[in-house]
Structure 1
Amino acid sequence: MAAIKKPVDDAGSPPAPRFEGAERHLIQPWPYAGAIGNEARTPIETGDGIYITDADGRRLIDGPAGMWCVNLGHRREELARVMADQAMELSYNTPWYTMSDPSAELARRLAAHAPGDLEHVFFTTGGSSAVETALRFMQFINNVRGRPDKKLILSRGGAYHGSTYLSASLNGRPRDRDWMDGADDLVVKLSCPDPFRRPAGMTIEAFTDFLVDEFRATVERVGAERIGAFVAEPVQASGGVIVPPPGYLPRIRNLCRDNDILYVSDEVVTAFGRLGEVFASGDVFGIEPDMITFAKGVTSGYFPLGGVMISARLTEELRRSNHPQAMFGHGYTFSSHPIGCAVALKNLDLLEGGVLEHARTVAPYFQEQLKTLEDLALVGEVRGAGLMACVECVADRESKNPLALDNAVGKRIDAHCHELGLLVRPLINMCVMSPPLIITRDQIDDMVAILREGISRTMDDLRREGLWQG
């Protein structure tokens, strides 16, 4: 009887063990030096609706919706079919000197949803490239205006705006810049608008006044003639779902207008239903920015796509300028990608066809149920808006101090929740939740119950290890 041969790869060698390629060859985002190029993270094999399944066959609620992006859920046949159909129709065209029907139609439909006069869109490949594009556009228009010194950018503590060089320079989260360089000479940082960590004894109204006064004082100190843009997420997502105090954003918008500072609303996370609307800037927060950046939910994560909505006032100013030969020398090979734009069009159909309304209906229940976790001693605050929320853990609720001896508490909670059937996004001492918009009330109940048990088990661990006495 002939011996059974082992399967071989194309090079004639036995195939490597499953996922060995990750540990030997794959570099994942945001690695530590001690593990770079030599780590394997949790393998995810399939997705269906709000659920994903890991390599061990464990079915998990996708608590972070991938990375804030799988808004319509996994395995949407409509989106997959559009991708395939468009690839067979036109898989790519160069945006330098041609265009496609999907990109033109998507631009028209997005303009109809955008607030104010944001009638134009420049498509990018994702959120970082969208923010980079907005900043380069600011630099370009000020060069055309004859204001070469008006290039500084105002950003905030707790902000996250991307991983490309200029966009990452705006980031204000702890540890983001510990080992990374940035364009520090171009960025001026303001305080984080976090009501939970406002100075002791200060009212919300006084905190808002403080933030506005700080902005005004910064403009006076630095000089409005040197500041080109203010970039802000309506809700600081990766910074811990920081919802600014009421009235803060409109007041800052007015100060930007008064000082000829372009207001860039970074809606990479908050757009496309996360707060119940296609764009949250106008419909939720009552502001009309000069630019809006977006990505993630525009295709529900099915295809890399992002973009910048740009005010007609700015484009008209450029067309009327004395420098018609001035070129905005910026673009990407995959700008206006026909497959991405086709998927985004179908995604928009589904959002408009009932998903946005569902998200608005279920969001209050989502926030109410998560808020019940505040009866756990480890939980300092549960905050959020729409279908995004953060559970922040603290050593002591009165002092609001983080866990000094165990800043990885979020990872501990995530590990317990994983065993119980929920994927959590851990951020040091915080757990971020942003499930697919199609989540139901019963599924919210399941998610909160698992999260409660995961936090309770973590509390038991910390007490047993002597790291926390709560």
Structure 2
Amino acid sequence: MNKVPGSQWNASETEDAARLHLLSPAEAMEKLGQSSRPVIAYGEGIYVVDTKGRRLIDGPGGMWCTQIGYNRHEIADAIAQQALRLAYNSPWYTTNSPAAELAARIAALTPGDLNRVFFTTGGSTAVDSALRFVEFHNNVLGRPEKKHIIVRREGYHGSTALTAACSGRAGNWPNFDIVSDRISFISSPNMRFAGGKDEAGFLDWLVDEFQQEIARIGADKVAVFLAEPLLASGGVIIPPKGYHARFKAVCEEHDIVYISDEVVTAFGRCGEWFASEKVFGVVPDIITFAKGVTSGYVPLGGFAISERLLEKVSGDKAKGSHYSNGYTYTGHPVSCAAALANIGVIEKDGILDHVREISGYFAERLHSLTDLPLVADVRASGLVGCVECLIDRSSADATDIDKRIGARIDAHCAELGLIVRPLGNMCVMSPPLVITRAQIDDMIAILRQGILRTAVEIEQGELV
């Protein structure tokens, strides 16, 4: 059997090693060691190729992150050159040129006065570190009771102990110990659960619920509201127009920090460097980012923070304090060099303009699937979208059988040349930002066939 590209092993040897020795995220423990996931050998453009030779459109864009696509030599060269020049420095005692330059570049791209950047290892640690800054901030200000975090059902913020507790997808919780004494959840801004209200009426209801939750806890105890601009892993839930500005105004009234979790939406996914202000109408106090900052080539995350917040706990007001949160790989020079190269490619190739130009077509083609019997809803913003499927399309809730639909659609689509990210009864699509109209057509045509094949299985009683 032929060797896997870039490896000394063949496909069978690689799959056996994965089956016997890898513990993967979301591992089904009952089947541990019985099979391995498809092994991806290499990628090019918007496509990946597995060890069986299947060429697949990368519908989820890796994990919402492969903005500029695969096999870009600009990024690989930048990584190699920086690794040879300086592979590592200790962020506790020194810094490096790529980290300093990247911080300045990001500060120039953020809205408002978010001019200082802290680097982490990825999205989970970015959100965790931002929340820890809010804790630090209130402790220095002499407000140790102001620590409560308000988040939303169906939101997702990471896999550290704290960020997992802030993630409102209950399916992530079983058999883990979830911190809950200072975290509370308010409703998802999903219009499917508006109970007959129009968009404006639903928004008023959501704002009122937020205000009531603050009153219940006590404004002197609520520290932060943490929200994705759109709820990505919750199924690309797009809030009513004006939602974020209304919630930010409530936060300002009660001296609550507003964190915009842009781990998914930043660096072009919605056609802007950061989506908070230009797409969703809010200038937050802190923005978290990861994923698209390097287009997934190497791990990197971080947060940008308002000068207004920093001013309260720095200089003469610091009281001798240190923001001692940090990581071995904070500001890693190779990752920061990759991010600088990634930003360069996005600028050189006009990728943000391309996303803004093509996103309407992407949404239109996704909505063309609404004629199918299983499709209950379609949502899209920029180049991220979701097709929600239900056997009973008039229902707002997914049954146990519904929750298996996404996996079946994904399996059929993989046979036809497309990876889909299944989330229960939902199919999420967030392809590389360099996708063309013709490639969108290919993607939607395969997704249509996957949905139709799954509908036939349901009719024949095979999905039980």
Q: When the two structures are superposed, what TM-score results if normalisation uses the length of structure 1?
A: 0.94
| Residue 467 of structure 1: how far off its partner (Å) | 5.4
Tell me the amino acid that sits aligned with residue 314 of structure 1. L
CA 1:466–1:401: 2 relative to 1, 3 Å = farther
Q: Is the 8 A contact 1:406 1:467 kept in 2?
A: no
CA 1:371–1:40: 2 relative to 1, 3 Å = same
Q: Is the 8 A contact 1:106 1:341 kept in 2?
A: yes
Tell me the amino acid that sits aligned with residue 235 of structure 1. L
| Residue 343 of structure 1: how far off its partner (Å) | 0.7
DSSP 3-state at the match of 1:318: coil
Q: 2: CA distance between counterparts of 1:37 and 1:345?
A: 40
DSSP 3-state at the match of 1:53: strand
1:300 aligns with 2:295: yes
Counterpart selection for 1:263 from 254, 258, 269 = 258
What are the residue-to-residue correspondences of 1:52-131 with 2, within 5 Å? Answer: 52-131=48-127
Tell me the amino acid that sits aligned with residue 289 of structure 1. P
Unaligned runs of 5+ in 1: 1-14
Tell me the amino acid that sits aligned with residue 413 of structure 1. I
- In the alignment, what sits opposite 2:458? 462
What are the residue-to-residue correspondences of 1:13-28 with 2, within 5 Å? Answer: 17-28=13-24
What are the residue-to-residue correspondences of 1:42-441 with 2, within 5 Å? Answer: 42-199=38-195, 201-353=196-348, 354-441=350-437
Unaligned runs of 5+ in 2: 1-10
DSSP 3-state at the match of 2:156: coil
Q: 2: CA distance between counterparts of 1:36 and 1:226?
A: 44
Q: When the two structures are superposed, what TM-score results if normalisation uses the length of structure 2?
A: 0.95
Runs of 4 or more, structure 1, over 6 Å off, are none
- RMSD in angstroms over aligned alpha carbons? 1.7
| Residue 321 of structure 1: how far off its partner (Å) | 4.9
| Residue 179 of structure 1: how far off its partner (Å) | 2.1
CA 1:318–1:245: 2 relative to 1, 3 Å = same
| Residue 449 of structure 1: how far off its partner (Å) | 0.4
Q: 2: CA distance between counterparts of 1:119 and 1:96?
A: 21
Q: Is the 8 A contact 1:102 1:342 kept in 2?
A: yes
Larger radius of gyration: 1
DSSP 3-state at the match of 1:335: coil
Q: 2: CA distance between counterparts of 1:55 and 1:196?
A: 41
Q: 2: CA distance between counterparts of 1:258 and 1:279?
A: 25
| Residue 38 of structure 1: how far off its partner (Å) | 5.2
Tell me the amino acid that sits aligned with residue 37 of structure 2. R
CA 1:245–1:461: 2 relative to 1, 3 Å = same
Tell me the amino acid that sits aligned with residue 238 of structure 2. V
Percent identical pairs in the alignment equals 52
Tell me the amino acid that sits aligned with residue 152 of structure 2. R
Q: Is the 8 A contact 2:389 2:402 kept in 1?
A: no
- In the alignment, what sits opposite 1:6? none
Q: Is the 8 A contact 2:268 2:433 kept in 1?
A: yes
Aligned residues: 455
Tell me the amino acid that sits aligned with residue 310 of structure 1. I
Deviations 1:413-442 (A, max 9, x none): 001000101000001100000000000000
Deviations 1:389-425 (A, max 9, x none): 0000012122234244342110100010001010000
Q: 2: CA distance between counterparts of 1:25 and 1:325?
A: 48
| Residue 17 of structure 1: how far off its partner (Å) | 3.0
Q: 2: CA distance between counterparts of 1:128 and 1:182?
A: 15
